[in-house]
Amino acid sequence: MKILSCITRLDELIELKKAGADEIYFAYNAIPNYANTGMFYNLIDVRKLIKLSHNLKMKVHLAANEINLSDSTNTFLTIIANIRKIINFGIDGIIVSDIGLLKRIKSEFNNIPVHLSSLNPVFNLNSLKFFYDSFKISRVILPNQLSALEAKNIINFAKKNKIETEIFFYKFFGCPYINGFCMMHTDAYLKRIVKSEDGLCRAGLGLKPAKIQPFNIAKRMSIPKELMSRVSYRVSFGGSPRVLNRASFFDYYVLGIDYLKYGTRTDPTEKRIHSVKMMKKVINLIEKLLNKYDDTEKAREFFLKIDI
């Protein structure tokens, strides 16, 4: 399993390599990207980044994964022109979520590998087949809300058809709300009383849960008490149960996921380096355990006992 990390500054590159990153990806401000943050602002730096990465034998990819391409000061022609420039610098792949952009890229630059972003999530085998048949994607980034055992058929198909697979690291990611389809951080319809970065997925205030009240109650049924407190907790403090956990991560490793992603471009450099080091440590630990024990279940048992 290799590590892919986001990069937001040139001077992070060597430290990321030392920390254990095998590949990097970046965003460029003139190409719409999700969250629109931690970007490079001039093509000179982008060119330098690609050259330096290749000198260090690291692949480098471009994030062009914004869903709403119209929400940009650049026209589609400009976006494609900028992508062309970056491809000519020698980029190794492009991360895309919009199917229109996928189509444009494949028709203009057929040889460039395209990675399907988790913002256009693949939850089942048919969905992967759709994207593979329609756009010949080279890599799929699986959503946080899919467990390893649920993804088994997807991973097997991917291996057979030489599609690389990528997941997020469970310790830093794992939001239960389906990314790409979530409006819990938007104010499009709302009048805020308290400005909060947490979004409405944490409807509680501090330690105080939100008040809940049942309605549309089914006829002749009474609501179990534990259900009310469960709903109250979940809506107040971050949502429903997470399937991408430690155990699922181990299973993803055993099933042969190719890449582990670190993708928070808003994090400061120090935190990013530290996180990549931790990811490398965990991968090494699993490798060690699998080499030590012939039995995968035993390796798993030990992995789950270790405090990470």
Partner 1 sequence: MENAIKIDVRDIDKKKIALYDCIYFGTEFCENLIPVYEKKLDKVFSFGKKICILTPIITDKGLKELKSLFTNLKKYDDFEITLNDFGALMLVKELDIRCRLNIGRHLSKLFFTIKKNHIEVNDPESLKILNDIDINTFEVSNFLFSNKSISINLNNFDIKFNIYYPYVLLSTTRTCLIGLDDISLDHSVKSIICRNECIYSDYIVKTGKIKEDLIVSQNSTFIENKSTILFDKKTLLNINRTVFCVRP
Binders in 237-256 for partner 1, by CB under 8 A: 239-243, 245-248, 250-251
Q: Given candidates 76, 84, 229, 270, which one binds partner 1 under the rule CB under 8 A?
A: 76
Work out how close the CB of 234 gets to partner 1 at its nearest, in angstroms, rounded to a whole number: 5
Q: Does 73 bind partner 1 (CB under 8 A)?
A: no
Token pair belonging to 199:
């979004």
- Identity of residue 73: T
Residue with tokens 């494949």: 106
- Identity of residue 159: K
Work out how close the CB of 43 gets to partner 1 at its nearest, in angstroms, rounded to a whole number: 24
Note whether 276 and 19 are within 8 A (CB): yes
Nearer to partner 1, 41 or 76 (CB): 76
User: Could you tell me which stretch among 18-26, 53-61, 69-77, 262-270 binds partner 1 (CB under 8 A)?
Assistant: 69-77
**Separation between Cα atoms, residue 58 and residue 21, nearest integer Å:** 8
**Separation between Cα atoms, residue 58 and residue 72, nearest integer Å:** 30
Q: Does 69 bind partner 1 (CB under 8 A)?
A: yes
Work out how close the CB of 256 gets to partner 1 at its nearest, in angstroms, rounded to a whole number: 15
Nearer to partner 1, 98 or 166 (CB): 98
Q: Does 205 bind partner 1 (CB under 8 A)?
A: yes
Q: Given candidates 147, 165, 264, 275, which one binds partner 1 under the rule CB under 8 A?
A: 147
Residues forming beta bridges with residue 76, ordered by sequence position: none
Q: Does 278 bind partner 1 (CB under 8 A)?
A: no
**Separation between Cα atoms, residue 162 and residue 123, nearest integer Å:** 19
User: Could you tell me which stretch among 7-15, 36-44, 212-220, 274-282 binds partner 1 (CB under 8 A)?
Assistant: 212-220
Work out how close the CB of 151 gets to partner 1 at its nearest, in angstroms, rounded to a whole number: 8
Work out how close the CB of 203 gets to partner 1 at its nearest, in angstroms, rounded to a whole number: 4
Work out how close the CB of 52 gets to partner 1 at its nearest, in angstroms, rounded to a whole number: 33
Interface residues for partner 1 in 102-131 (CB under 8 A)? 103-104, 120-131
What single DSSP character describes residue 166?
Answer: E
Q: Does 45 bind partner 1 (CB under 8 A)?
A: no
Nearer to partner 1, 187 or 270 (CB): 187
Please spell the DSSP secondary structure of 254-298, one letter per residue: HHT--EEEE--TTS-HHHHHHHHHHHHHHHHHHHHHHHH-SSHHH
Interface residues for partner 1 in 155-174 (CB under 8 A)? none
> How many Cβ atoms from other residues are within 10 Å of residue 62's Cβ?
27
Note whether 253 and 286 are within 8 A (CB): yes
Q: Does 12 bind partner 1 (CB under 8 A)?
A: no
Measured in degrees and rounded to the nearest 5, phi and psi for residue 305 equal: -85, -25
Note whether 104 and 128 are within 8 A (CB): no
